[in-house]
Structures are given as C-alpha cells and as structure tokens.
Structure 1
Amino acid sequence: MRSSFALGILASALALTASAFDCKKAQVAGHTYDLSPLSREITLESNATTPPTLTSTRYVLNPCAPLKAEPDSVPEIDRCPNGAWACRLVTNFKKDEKPRITEVNAVAGKSSKDEPVLEAKTSGSDKPSEFHWIMKGAEVEKTVWSTDIKFVCNKSAKDQDLPTVVGFKDGVLSLEWAVPAACALGGGGDEKPPSDGDKEKKPVESSGGGFFSTMFSLFVVISALYLVLGVMYNYLIVRATGLDLIPNRAFWREFPYLCSDFTQHVWGMVNGRRRGGYSVV
C-alpha cells in the first residue's frame, strides 16, 4: 500500500515534466502555427437509417490534447480509451428500446506518449497554405486506425467553425478544417524572410530568454524530485506521517529566520562602510 502511494506521487511529478505537444507553437516546415484557438473537444455526428433501427456515428476529438476522462456514470465498456485524441462511437437506436453502443475505439492516440505529427504536403520556401495533422490510433482487426486532419488557411472563416468529415475508409478518418488558426503566424506567407541585420539584433534576447527558461525548468524539475523523493523516504523508511513527511522540515522551519539574520548582517556591513570606518569617542 505504501509503495503504491509513493509510486503514484512519483508518477504524477514526472508527468508534469514530460514533454507535450505545444498547440500554441506548432511547427510545420519551419513555420509556427497557433492552433490553441481550436483546443476544445468537438463532436461530429452523422445518422443513417438502418431499418428497423437508426445508426448514429459520432467522432469526438481535440487537436491539442487527449480527450477528458468520461464520468463514472458511463459504463467502462462504452468509454473512449484513455489517451485517445479522437474517438469513434457507433450507437444503434431502435424504437422502444434503450440506445446501444455497438462500436467505440480510438481513431487517434492510444497512450499518454502519443503525439500528433504535422506534415506539409507541399515543398518550397513559402509558408504552406495547408498541412496535415496525423495521428495513429488503436489496432482493430489487424488494421491500425488513424486520423488525418487537413488544415487549410482561411482567414475569412472562424476558429469556432467545425471540421468537415471527408470520410472513414480502411480505418482512416479524413477531415478537412479551414480556419484562421491554420495560417502561419506573421501573415499569409507573403512577407520576406528576416534580413541579416534583423538576425543580428535578436540573438541576445532570444538566447537570454532560452537560458533563463531552461534554468527555471531545471529548477522546477530538481525541486519536484527533491520533494517527491524526500516524501517517499520519510513515508517508506522513516514511517513519518503528516507534516513530518516534508523533507528536512526543521531546516525549512528555520529558513525564514536564517534569511532575516543574513539580511540584517549585510545591512549592518553596508551601514558600517557608510560611517567611514570610525566612531565618535
């Protein structure tokens, strides 16, 4: 029981530091796209008459993150798999009978390690006006399902517009999504690349930001590992409970006083130098 508890804490801390697909800074053919306005779960549904029943096919997807876990009220067998970014659900309706889900499976994503691949089908130095969002899903009857979203740059559309289902064939869900978010940042791709003079003005700012960002990330990772490993040690080895789980609790309790003493000491040295090094007799 204790081991499971400690491992759960460690897994949660490491999950925070794992790399994830950044929808706000998606990279395609060397250009950056902000797909974050599309970060939401959407549902696409179509109905077909299948006498004596009605068959409904739903696709639930989020292009920026895995789907949220469904509530416990939904039977586990009828839920989308954990880690899915796109899910296909087929429901059968028959008069005077309760709806019955006949198919449910991941069309994109099947574990927490999966991330989409962004690919431009065209070549050249210009910003692509369209690109593909591709991700593999579950394997069904020896066929690996996948989702292929064709993003098209359309500044006159709205990011709230829904994608169009092109089809589902041989396990591949094909969608087309024309939205402003599919346009590269900085314009429609007709601006000139930065000159050498512009490049010379930016290295200090970009490298400085990257250095401090890296150091901050490293500090967060080390702090998380220190806390998690310290709690695990106190819980499993020392058998501590409550606040005693905090590693080096006595030191952290005295830390504010140590900082206060250090500040007073430095302030006293500064004031001493300002008096010129002599005292009045």
Structure 2
Amino acid sequence: MKPSLRTFALLMASLSAASAAFDCKTLKIAGHAYDLSALARDVTLVSNATTPPTITGTKYTLNPCSAIKGDGDSVPEIDRCPADSWVCRSVTNYKGKEANRVTEVNAVAGGPKSDREPKIEAKTSGDDKPKEFHWKMQGISVDKVEWKTDIKFICDKDKKNDELPVVKKFEDGELELEWRVPAACALGDSGDGNKGSDGEKDKKPEDDKGDDKVSGRGFFSTVFSFLFVGFVFYFVLGLLYNFFVVHATGLDLVPNLAFWREFPYLVMDFSQHIWDIVSGRRRGGYSVV
C-alpha cells in the first residue's frame, strides 16, 4: 500500500518539528550565541510556611533545557509531577505525626501532551549582547487560568553555574524566577569560550591603555639593555686593550682609570649644582669663596 499524501505531509511536519526542537546549547539571542547546557539538570527549590496547625511546604522542580525527570516510582503517580513537565509545582501539608499529604501538584511549564517549547525574549540595543533575557513557557490550564513560567536569566560572571534560581513570586498561575549565572552570558563574553571577532569587538579602551603601558615598559627595558651591553663591551675591550697593548697590570687594567677615580666627585658636584638650582640658592651675583 502506497503512503498517502497526508501521511507524507504529517511525516514532514514531524521532522520539521524535531529539527526545530529547543536546544540549550545553540541558542541565538539578538544574533549572538548562548549556551545554557551547563544548567541542563533538575533543580529543586523548597520553601516552608507555618500555617497552624500545619506546615505547608512548596516545592518547585525545573529544568531549563528539557522536561524534568521527576521523582519516579518513589512517589505515588497521583502525587508526581505530570509527564513532560519542564517546571513543576507541588504543595505538601505536614501535620505532626500524621502522614504527609500532597494537596497540589501541577505543571507550571510544559505538561501532558504539551507540544509547547520555551520561548526566549530579550530587549536589545544595537549590536550589544543582551546581559539578561527571559525564558518563558506555558503550562497547564487550571480553572481556565493558563499557568506559565518566566525565568529571568542574568549574566553574572562572579557567580557559578551551580547557583540556584530565586523565586520572585507565584501569582495567578504565573511563576517568576531570577537566575544569575555565567551561563547566561553570550559565548565569548564569559572568559571561557573562544572570543574570535566578538572578543575584539568587546575590547575596552582600558585594555588599549594597558597595552600602551606594556609598550612603554618594553621601550625603556630595551634602552637599558642596550646601555648595559654597551658598558660591558666597553669594559671588557678596554681591559683586553690595556693588558695586551699597554701591558698594564692591577688597577691600571681598568679602562680610563683616571675618569672612574674622579667619577664619584663629578657626580657629587653635579648633584650639588642641581640642588642649588632647585633650592634657589643661585640667583646671580657673587658667591663666597
């Protein structure tokens, strides 16, 4: 039996959807590359509130790169996060020695039979790399209210990628989180990737000043090296000349010995002259002899 045109169209649509699947490793935001794969893990956030005579615990489980793995068979199916959840919210009631009771569990992003994928939104300005962006995804519908998650990623090179996100609020089915990690920095902007041309674009004027300082130090080092090498050559050649030509011995081997004997006094006289000029002692006229 030959496949129908409709079957072929459905196959092509599924292949297209698969090829367009959300990939944390190859995100493009405002034309710049980002890689969130370092965050591809289930993250759990727990908070407890005193609600006499009980304690109410709220747990969020999320994975920004794929559906969460969940608790597996260790938790009854009715108390588990729904299948294909990317962000799950569960509320548990604790009361003394009584058994814990899960009062609420729902997908705040993703969910059963969900074909939705995260959307990335960012405010851009020219060619600047966004320092923050929003990861948004729809969840299930509860009492005709569409649940959803908004994770605000902020580029922070001083943090580590094992930092946990912070719950900002959960209101009317919308969960807002803030996540400061270096993984939220554009590739080539975190100090870990290959910078290429982007690294050159990100070069600051302060970096050029640093290069000028290094260049200045290199110039003076070169001049000093030439002077030192020249002095060594002068001294060695003078010694050889005095030894082989003049047949001098002892201190007489030192080239221009008379000059070097007078050198300390010359330096002292020169220093005194400079000091007199600076201190204003020489203003013309005669000096006492």
| The two structures share one fold, judged by TM-score above 0.5 | yes
The DSSP-based 3-state class of the residue aligned with 1:185 is coil
Structure 2: gaps of 5 or more residues: 1-10, 191-196, 203-289
* Cα distance in 2 for residues equivalent to 1:108 and 1:175: 13
Native 8 Å contact 2:30 2:124 kept in 1:
no
The DSSP-based 3-state class of the residue aligned with 2:73 is coil
Q: How far 1:16 moved relative to its partner?
A: 11
C-alpha distance after superposition, 1:132-187 (max 9, x if no partner): 00000011111101110000000110000001110101111100001000000112
Q: Name the % identity.
A: 60
C-alpha distance after superposition, 1:237-272 (max 9, x if no partner): xxxxxxxxxxxxxxxxxxxxxxxxxxxxxxxxxxxx
* Cα distance in 1 for residues equivalent to 2:25 and 2:19: 17
Native 8 Å contact 1:154 1:182 kept in 2:
yes
* Cα distance in 2 for residues equivalent to 1:139 and 1:168: 15
* Cα distance in 1 for residues equivalent to 2:16 and 2:80: 23
* 1:23 corresponds to 2:5: no
The DSSP-based 3-state class of the residue aligned with 2:72 is coil
Q: How far 1:74 moved relative to its partner?
A: 2.0
Instruction: Report the counterpart of residue 128 of structure 1 in structure 2.
Output: 130
* Cα distance in 2 for residues equivalent to 1:122 and 1:16: 27
Native 8 Å contact 2:64 2:86 kept in 1:
yes
Q: How far 1:190 moved relative to its partner?
A: 7.3
* Cα distance in 2 for residues equivalent to 1:184 and 1:18: 23
* Cα distance in 1 for residues equivalent to 2:20 and 2:198: 32
1:187 aligned partner, one-letter code: D
Residue of 164, 167, 172 corresponding to 1:165: 167
Q: How far 1:70 moved relative to its partner?
A: 3.7
2:139 aligned partner, one-letter code: G
Instruction: Report the counterpart of residue 92 of structure 1 in structure 2.
Output: 93
Distance 1:187 1:14, change over 3 A: closer
* Cα distance in 2 for residues equivalent to 1:36 and 1:68: 16
* Cα distance in 1 for residues equivalent to 2:142 and 2:25: 32
Residue of 108, 116, 119 corresponding to 1:117: 119
Structure 1: gaps of 5 or more residues: 1-9, 195-281
Instruction: State the TM-score, normalizing by the size of structure 1.
Output: 0.60
* Cα distance in 2 for residues equivalent to 1:73 and 1:162: 24
Q: How far 1:130 moved relative to its partner?
A: 0.3
* Cα distance in 1 for residues equivalent to 2:184 and 2:117: 18
* Cα distance in 2 for residues equivalent to 1:17 and 1:136: 19
Native 8 Å contact 1:121 1:132 kept in 2:
no
Instruction: Report the counterpart of residue 145 of structure 1 in structure 2.
Output: 147
Q: How far 1:53 moved relative to its partner?
A: 0.2
Instruction: Report the counterpart of residue 260 of structure 1 in structure 2.
Output: none
Distance 1:83 1:192, change over 3 A: same
Native 8 Å contact 1:29 1:119 kept in 2:
no
* 1:72 corresponds to 2:56: no
Instruction: Report the counterpart of residue 37 of structure 1 in structure 2.
Output: 38
Q: How far 1:20 moved relative to its partner?
A: 2.1
Native 8 Å contact 2:188 2:198 kept in 1:
no
C-alpha distance after superposition, 1:27-81 (max 9, x if no partner): 2121110100000001001100000000000000000000115423422211111
Instruction: Report the counterpart of residue 103 of structure 1 in structure 2.
Output: 104
* Cα distance in 2 for residues equivalent to 1:71 and 1:176: 27
* Cα distance in 1 for residues equivalent to 2:121 and 2:16: 27
Within a 5 Å distance, the mapping from 1:166-205 to structure 2 comes to 166-187=168-189, 191=199
* 1:55 corresponds to 2:56: yes
Native 8 Å contact 2:156 2:180 kept in 1:
yes
Native 8 Å contact 2:152 2:179 kept in 1:
yes
Distance 1:32 1:14, change over 3 A: closer
* Cα distance in 2 for residues equivalent to 1:125 and 1:90: 44
1:61 aligned partner, one-letter code: L
* Cα distance in 2 for residues equivalent to 1:114 and 1:49: 36
1:60 aligned partner, one-letter code: T
Instruction: State the TM-score, normalizing by the size of structure 2.
Output: 0.59
